[in-house]
Amino acid sequence: MGLFDFLRSPDINQGLKDYSAVPGAVLLDVRTPQEYREGHVPKSRNVPLQSLEQAAGVISDKSTPVFVYCYSGSRSSQAVSRLIKMGYQNVKNIGGIASYSGKVEM
């Protein structure tokens, strides 16, 4: 790891490869419901950042691996911090859908 690696934004495409390799992992989209309807990564679940407390209804086991994305990576970074404070143990920010190179679902 280089001196400035912490400045790099997470790569959603690599993050999705990592997600696919983890059985039982959850892919969480923390954008608004409107943004989610306009296009989302297949197999993702929408729990908006402002309603993150509802994550327990989607992910009851706090040891479940959770991969989080938003539009740019900013809200997903906030969501990761909040999920950790809520007791989730294996949470990763994978960045923003703006950099996603795959197909989206509507």
Domain assignment present for residue 17? The answer is: yes
State how many domains the chain has. 1
SS3 per residue for the chain: CCCCHHHCCCCHHHHHHHHHCCCCCEEEECCCHHHHHHCECCCEEECCHHHHHHHHHHCCCCCCCEEEEECCCHHHHHHHHHHHHCCCCCEEEEEEHHHCCCCCEC
Q: What is the pLDDT of residues 12-65, one digit of tens each?
A: 999 999 999 999 999 999 999 999 999 999 999 999 999 999 999 999 999 999
Question: Is 78 assigned a catalytic role?
Answer: no
Closest CA to 73 of 23, 8, 24: 8
Q: Which of 12, 47, 70, 83 is catalytic?
A: 70
Which residues form the domain of 18? Answer: 11-99
Is the entire prediction scored with pTM above 0.75? yes
Domain assignment present for residue 106? The answer is: no
